[in-house]
């Protein structure tokens, strides 16, 4: 049966959709990137019991929920393409401009011309681990906020409020401990996740709590992503702002994409600069080049993410000499 061909450019808040029904004209739609919008899109694609083939690009944290919704829908097939493959296809099609609408049109052309490979979603264990890891991050953030409020309340002198905050912090401590135990139990039941956790914790600086958060984010990523794409996904890629002679700002990280992964890497990188000799040497070398401390930490985060990629792909523990050879 002929299928409706669909290309979707996924952004944080909207979906730019280009579709063509069999024998029909191309249509352009803009739909909210939220569960209600996903249901609206599926109804549009399957009206009159039609079938649809959808191509979308892996775009950090924004595409996964949509891909899962489409995968679960009847009469809808979904393909998630590597961003590099989509970019190369656009170049081969002589597409030089880049807007969300044009990107959706390129993906529509991609689904017409290229072999269709149905997307396989992450396993239920991986999705559950990501959900638990993000809940842990949320609880930890709330606990930090409460501790900051406790410190500020001390100056006011309200014993009632201080006591109430203390009770809440102790409650959060118990919930974090219990949820970490459940996440570890989930990991132990999966031989692959268990090995990956062991590789992560071989880095002096990545404890079990941090490893759960990091693993929860990277275990759901497409398997064909490159380490550079991991870095871009985490928003750790440099963003250069230059224009003519009037604008030449220092390079900064893009901060685009997965904030949870970026936040999960910060503390391990900070600790590794103190306790992992090769990481410490690399960090001190950056400081010797007059890099600011935060710039050096970000550089360590980026290089550490490359190291994690290699460790998990090769099934090996952390090798400090591969990270940065001492004596350079």
pLDDT at 42: 93
pLDDT at 252: 66
Of the listed ranges 10-19, 44-53, 77-86, the one predicted with least confidence: 77-86
Does 82 score more than 80 pLDDT?
no
Burial of 49 (0-12, 13-18, 19+ CB in 10 A): exposed
d(C-alpha 287, C-alpha 285), whole Å: 5
pLDDT at 61: 64
What pTM value is reported for the model? 0.81
Same topology between domain 4-113 and domain 122-189: no
Does 121 score more than 70 pLDDT?
yes
Mean pLDDT score of the chain, rounded to an integer?
Answer: 88
| CB within 8 Å of 120: residues ≥ 6 apart | none
d(C-alpha 78, C-alpha 61), whole Å: 17
Instruction: Note whether 129 and 219 are within 8 A (CB).
Output: yes
pLDDT at 47: 87
4-113: what fold?
Nucleotidyltransferase; domain 5 (3.30.420)
Q: Dig out the tokens for 240 from the structure.
A: 């250069």
Structural domain spans, the chain: 4-113, 122-189, 218-323
Does 207 score more than 50 pLDDT?
yes
Taking alpha carbons only, the member of 115, 306, 312, 55 closest to residue 202 is 312
CATH classification number, 122-189, choose in 1.10.287, 1.10.3470, 3.40.50, 2.60.40:
1.10.287
Query: How many CB atoms sit inside 10 A of residue 93's CB?
Result: 13
pLDDT at 52: 92
Taking alpha carbons only, the member of 118, 109, 36 closest to residue 79 is 118
The phi and psi torsions of 193 (rounded to 5 degrees) equal: -65, -35
Rounded-to-5 percentages of helix, strand, coil across the chain: 60, 15, 25
Which pLDDT tens digit goes with each residue over 139-190?
999 999 999 999 888 887 789 999 999 999 999 999 999 999 999 999 999 9
User: What mean pLDDT comes out for the span 188-212?
Assistant: 96
Q: What is the DSSP letter of 106?
A: H
User: What mean pLDDT comes out for the span 45-50?
Assistant: 87
- Provide the β-strand partners of residue 54: 6, 78
Which pLDDT tens digit goes with each residue over 242-300?
444 443 445 566 666 678 899 999 999 999 999 999 999 999 999 999 999 999 999 99
Confidence of residue 136 (pLDDT cuts 50, 70, 90): very high
| CB within 8 Å of 221: residues ≥ 6 apart | 58, 230, 233
């Amino acid at each position: 049966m002929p299928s409706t061909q669909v290309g979707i450019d996924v952004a944080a808040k909207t979906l730019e959709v280009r579709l063509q029904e069999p024998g029909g004209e191309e249509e352009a739609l803009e739909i909210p990137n939220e569960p209600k919008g996903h249901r609206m899109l599926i109804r549009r694609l399957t009206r009159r019991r039609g079938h649809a083939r959808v191509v979308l690009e892996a775009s950090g944290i924004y595409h996964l929920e949509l891909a899962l919704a489409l995968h679960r829908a009847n009469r809808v097939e979904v393909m998630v393409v590597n961003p590099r493959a989509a970019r190369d296809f656009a170049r081969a099609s002589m597409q030089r401009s880049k807007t969300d609408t044009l990107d959706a049109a390129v993906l529509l052309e991609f689904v017409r011309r290229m072999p269709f490979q149905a997307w396989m979603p992450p396993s239920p264990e991986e999705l559950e681990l990501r959900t638990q890891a993000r809940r842990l991050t949320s609880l930890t953030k709330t606990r930090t906020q409460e501790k900051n409020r406790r410190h500020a309340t001390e100056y006011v002198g309200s014993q009632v409020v201080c006591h109430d905050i203390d009770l809440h912090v102790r409650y959060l401590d118990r919930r974090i401990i219990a949820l970490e135990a459940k996440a570890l139990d989930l990991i132990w039941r999966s031989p692959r996740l268990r090995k990956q956790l062991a590789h992560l914790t071989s880095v002096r600086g990545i404890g079990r709590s941090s490893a759960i958060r990091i693993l929860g984010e990277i275990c759901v990523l497409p398997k064909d992503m490159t380490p550079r794409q991991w870095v871009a996904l985490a928003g750790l890629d440099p963003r250069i702002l230059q224009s003519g002679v009037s604008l030449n700002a220092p390079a900064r990280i893009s901060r685009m994409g997965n904030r949870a992964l970026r936040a999960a890497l910060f503390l391990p990188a900070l600790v590794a600069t103190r306790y992992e000799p090769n990481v410490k040497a690399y960090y001190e070398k950056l400081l010797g080049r007059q890099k600011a401390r935060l710039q050096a930490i970000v550089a360590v985060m980026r290089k550490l993410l490359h190291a994690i990629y290699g460790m998990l792909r090769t099934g090996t523990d952390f090798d400090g000499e591969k990270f940065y050879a001492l004596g350079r």
